[in-house]
Structure 1
Amino acid sequence: MAYLVPQEFVTKMVDAGESKIFMSTRDTLIRGFMAGAILALAAVFAVSVNVQTGYPIIGAVLFPVGFCMLYLMGFDLLTGVFMLTPLALIDKRPGVTLKGVLRNWGLVFLGNFAGALTVAVLMSIVFTFGFTQAPDKVGHVIAGIGEARTLGYEAHGAMGMLTLFIRGILCNWMVSTGVVGAMMSTTLGGKVIAMWMPIMLFFAMAFEHSVVNMFLFPSALLMGGNFSIADYFIWNEIPTALGNLIGGISFTGLTLYATHVRTGAKRVAA
């Protein structure tokens, strides 16, 4: 599978983070938009499979097709840049600043949200025949997800917020590992296999992904979900994004960088 050793693909991670910081505003927004849109379609696909088969694990097995598609085309998810761009700052790459990192995050967030929201509107029209009838089975399930994963957390108060935050951390531990997977091989098959495994795990475990939620919750609101926009941001999107940030940089980016780029001093033989 033309596997690259860790030192090689971790160096590629830092290089990728640096290139994204210096990318033009136009390109960053376009790549973010397409990533959000494709991941949203993959979420629709997975939920549809769950409804049709009655077996959520099948949807989890198939969901990574969207993630693989978007990364093979060079598009960017917020969860990925949360992990990659800080590495260029930590590595002290010339011209890389905290302002540049934050700018990239902001632009990718806007692009992802616009792409996911576009698909939310389009699919809501499909699910309701142009809002002329109640949502079909898939639309009804999506609306229910929106309520359960906002008001459901709110019902548990502070512990609900903690649970949401931790699910966000665990999610991007796996999703950012999938981003790294795209750099582990020089062949198409090798990249897909390396990306598929952690993405399947995150979806099967129902962890919280900020970009997937940019589709699920607006869709639910459009189709009559019984929660508010404030509920969505306070009881899902903001804590999820913060958890994704911590999970990606702490459990994936920094651990790989610390042990494969800035390695510890070798032990001296006695």
Structure 2
Amino acid sequence: MSYVSPPEFVGKMIDAGESKIFMSTRDTVIRAYMAGAILALAAAFAVSITVETGVPLVGALLFPVGFCLLYLLGFDLLTGVFTLAPLAWLDKRPGVKLTGVLRNWGLVFLGNFAGALTVAVLMAIIVTFAFTVDPNAVGQKLGSIGESRTLGYAEHGAAGMLTLFVRGVLCNWMVSTGVVAAMMSKSVSGKVIGMWMPILVFFYMGFEHSVVNMFLFPSGLMLGGDFSIADYFIWNEIPTVLGNLVGGIVFVGLTLYATHGRTKTRGDVQKTPSELPTPVA
């Protein structure tokens, strides 16, 4: 599958982060919009499969198709740029500033939200015949997800907030591993296999993904879910975004950068990826 060694793909991670920081506003927003829309369609697809089969594992097995497509098309999710963009700043790439990292995160958030919200409206139209009938089984499920994953956490107070945050951390540990896995191979099949595995884990385990939730919760509000916009942001989106940020940076970006991007030999002689010997397979 044309395997790329860790020092090589960490170099690609840094390059990718740098390119995203310097990308124009137009391109950043378009790519984020399309990523949010495609991931939302994949989430709707997975919920539909789960409702029709009654087997959540089947929905989880097939959900990664959307993630694979959006990354093969070169689109960007907030969870991915949380991990990649800071590496260019940490690596002191010329012209890269913290303000550039924050700008990229903000634009991707807005683009992802707009794309996911578009699909939420379109799906709400489909499952209600343009709001002329009650939601079908898929619509009812979408409504119930929003309720259980806002008010369900709120019932537990601080413990619920901590649980939500940790689920966000674990989510982007897996999702960003999927982003990195796409860089581990030069072939399409290798990239897809690498991405599929961690995305399957995150979705089946019910971890909290900020962009998926940008679709699920607005859908729930439109389809009769008994929760408010404030419930959505306070008891899901904001803690999930923070958890995703920590999970991506700490457990994927920093760990890979520390051990493969700034590798040290005995005696603390620091070496960059280009100075290291090529690993023997």
Q: TM tier, shorter chain?
A: over 0.9
Aligned to 1:71: 71
Aligned to 1:126: 126
Output one character per residue of 1:167-193: Cα deviation in whole Å (capped at 9) or x when no partner: 000000000000001111000000000
In structure 1, distance between residues paired with 2:210 and 2:261: 29
1:242 to 2:231 alignment: no
SS in 1 for 2:207: coil
Output one character per residue of 1:82-135: Cα deviation in whole Å (capped at 9) or x when no partner: 000000000000000010000000000000000000000000000100001111
Q: Which amino acid aligns with 1:99?
A: T
Q: Which amino acid aligns with 2:244?
A: N
1:259 to 2:281 alignment: no
How far apart are residue 265 of structure 1 and its match? Answer: 2.6
Q: Which amino acid aligns with 1:87?
A: L
Aligned to 2:137: 137
In structure 1, distance between residues paired with 2:171 and 2:183: 19
How far apart are residue 224 of structure 1 and its match? Answer: 1.2
Output one character per residue of 1:143-200: Cα deviation in whole Å (capped at 9) or x when no partner: 0000000000000000000000000000000000000011110000000000000000
5 Å-filtered alignment, 1:18-33, equals 18-33=18-33
Q: Provide TM-score, normalisation by structure 1.
A: 0.98
In structure 2, distance between residues paired with 1:260 and 1:38: 32
How far apart are residue 267 of structure 1 and its match? Answer: 5.8
How far apart are residue 218 of structure 1 and its match? Answer: 0.1
How far apart are residue 266 of structure 1 and its match? Answer: 2.4
In structure 1, distance between residues paired with 2:48 and 2:78: 25
SS in 1 for 2:253: helix
1:203 to 2:211 alignment: no
Q: Which amino acid aligns with 2:169?
A: I
Q: Which amino acid aligns with 2:240?
A: T
In structure 2, distance between residues paired with 1:267 and 1:90: 23
SS in 2 for 1:68: helix
In structure 1, distance between residues paired with 2:131 and 2:179: 37
In structure 2, distance between residues paired with 1:101 and 1:87: 10
Aligned to 2:176: 176
How far apart are residue 263 of structure 1 and its match? Answer: 1.1
**Could you list the runs of 5+ residues in structure 2 that have no partner in the other structure?**
269-281
Q: Which amino acid aligns with 2:112?
A: N
Q: Return structure 1 stretches of 4+ with deviation > 6 angstroms.
A: none
SS in 1 for 2:265: coil
In structure 2, distance between residues paired with 1:170 and 1:267: 34
Aligned to 1:2: 2
5 Å-filtered alignment, 1:225-236, equals 225-236=225-236
Aligned to 2:278: none
1:154 to 2:154 alignment: yes
In structure 2, distance between residues paired with 1:226 and 1:179: 35
CA RMSD, 1 decimal: 0.8
In structure 2, distance between residues paired with 1:65 and 1:262: 33
Aligned to 1:36: 36
**Could you list the runs of 5+ residues in structure 1 that have no partner in the other structure?**
none
SS in 2 for 1:264: strand
Aligned to 1:86: 86
1:185 to 2:153 alignment: no
Q: Which amino acid aligns with 1:232?
A: Y
In structure 1, distance between residues paired with 2:139 and 2:98: 41
How far apart are residue 261 of structure 1 and its match? Answer: 1.2
Q: Which amino acid aligns with 1:179?
A: V
Q: Provide TM-score, normalisation by structure 2.
A: 0.95
In structure 2, distance between residues paired with 1:14 and 1:72: 18
In structure 2, distance between residues paired with 1:13 and 1:108: 17
- How many equivalent pairs are there? 268
In structure 2, distance between residues paired with 1:163 and 1:109: 23
